[in-house]
Amino acid sequence: MSEQLAIYGGTPSVDVSKVAPWPPVNEIDEKLVLETLRGRVQTRGEQNLAFEKEFREWNGNDFALFTNSGTAALHMCLVGCGIGAGDHVLVTAYSWSSSATCILHHDAIPIFVDIDPETFLMDPDKIEAAITPRTKAIIVVQLHGLCNDMDKINAIAKKHNLKVIEDACQAHGAMYKGKKAGTLGDCAAFSFNQNKCLSCGEGGMFVTNSQEIFDQAAKLWSFGETARPEQRRDYHAYALGWMYRNNEITAAYGRAQLSKYDFYFNTLRNNGEYLLKNLAGTPNLMLPYEPEWATHNWYNFNLRVDFAKMGVTDPAEQVKFRDAVAAALCDEGIVASVWQRFILPEMTVFAAKNAYGMGYPWSIPGADEGVDYSLEKFPNALEYSRKHISIVHTLRAPNGLDIAEQVRQGIAKVFNNLDKIDPEKIQAIVEARRKK
């Protein structure tokens, strides 16, 4: 393809005027939200309770609590599983920061595990080597909407008497061997942030099938009390608690979006499969991998630049080139981004081992023994952080295969013209726009 790249003045591949915004809002959302807005209860009430019931029935869980964020739901998972000060919790080296800061929220210590280079998820074959005498749980991040090999992980957890927590914040509807994310461990957390495949602006859901885990998590969720607001409360704090509840208007919005989610999911599945099939063989493009045991929800459709084939070995040059490619894709009308530039052990809060001051919680006697965040321990995560580009909202419902085809054209156009990608020139173009 010799067509001029849009970032250099060519015609964009995607007609952005035809791309619907995310999330889609229609009369279903308006009806529920306006009815709730005009109601008497704006805190926790019938909309919260209905959303929890509908979500647990849709996902297949016995218990659910609507929270104000996925991060809150993750913190609840730690508490529900009895994780406390100085305990160790395994987590992937590459994810959003909340996947590991939730461990710090309850004074425990994250132990990072490198990723599998094809799935981008925690490598199950590296888990046992990371287990310490203080390890109490594994947080399995179903990253980008893809479930990990849960049979293998659960077998390791059972062998070592560890709890399994699913960070399913990006994995709504994703499946492992026909079972939904959020039903594959002891408990799980979902996020409903606007970026997510199921959104109500901000919010989250804690889910479990264990009454004991639910009761412990619920105390954290509401001031350390043993009764929820809809129950008979004595307003007595029985444990350290936060205020992680959400409100009625947001719950109503969540219910409306959930009622349409199967359409969202199927649309995104179709668009992702279309790109996988029709971008195969594109030069220097590495496409995402969907194992035979998994059903991806394509929260992020991740592209990778094949630097090995290109002969680009310097990490700094890889980052600059990847960023230029991402900018070129954006100018083609594709919502493309570098989702996470740093692996978690690189982030200051972990690298400095100082979350609360005075080195805490690593300064808990014995807690830091054997804890090593040296970056050379995570080569796959580091490599991935330098070469991936995430395609997000452009593939979401109601955008169908017509838009997916335009996205395909834009990706193919950029990757067939990688020889024309000049990182310095593109950086100058981007900087000039920022200054306007």
**DSSP codes joined into one string, 39-76:** SS--SSSHHHHHHHHHHHHHHT-SEEEEES-HHHHHHH
Tens-place pLDDT, residues 246-302: 999 999 999 999 999 999 999 999 999 999 999 999 999 999 999 999 999 999 999
Asked if residue 365 belongs to a domain, the reply is no
Same domain, 105 and 153: yes
347 contacts: CB under 8 Å, gap ≥ 6: 97
Dump pLDDT digits (tens) for 379-434: 999 999 999 999 989 999 999 999 999 999 999 999 999 999 999 999 999 999 98
Do 238 and 211 sit in the same domain of this protein?
A: yes
pLDDT digits (tens, 9 = 90+) for 129-148: 999 999 999 999 999 999 99
User: Can you give the CATH number for the domain in which 302 is found?
Assistant: 3.90.1150.10
| CA 436/CA 428 separation, integer angstroms | 13
Q: For residue 107, give the CATH number of its domain.
A: 3.40.640.10
Domain for residue 107, yes or no?
Answer: yes
Cα–Cα distance, 69 to 59 (Å, whole number)? 18
368 domain-assigned: no
Distance CA 129, CA 156 (A): 11
Number of domains in the chain: 2
Q: Is residue 374 part of a domain?
A: no
pLDDT higher than threshold 50 for residue 1: no
* Other beta carbons within 10 Å of 38: 7
pTM: 0.96
Clarify whether 219 is annotated catalytic. no
In a shared domain, residues 390 and 245: no
Q: Is residue 370 part of a domain?
A: no
Catalytic residue among 163, 180, 196, 219: 196
Can you give the residue range of the structural domain that contains 16?
6-20+261-340+383-435
Are 47 and 36 in contact, with CB atoms under 8 Å apart?
A: yes
Residues written for the chain: 436
Cα-trace Rg, the chain: 22
Whether 61 shows a pLDDT value over 50: the answer reads: yes
On whether residue 37 sits in a domain, the answer given is yes
- The answer on 151 and 46 residing in a single domain is yes
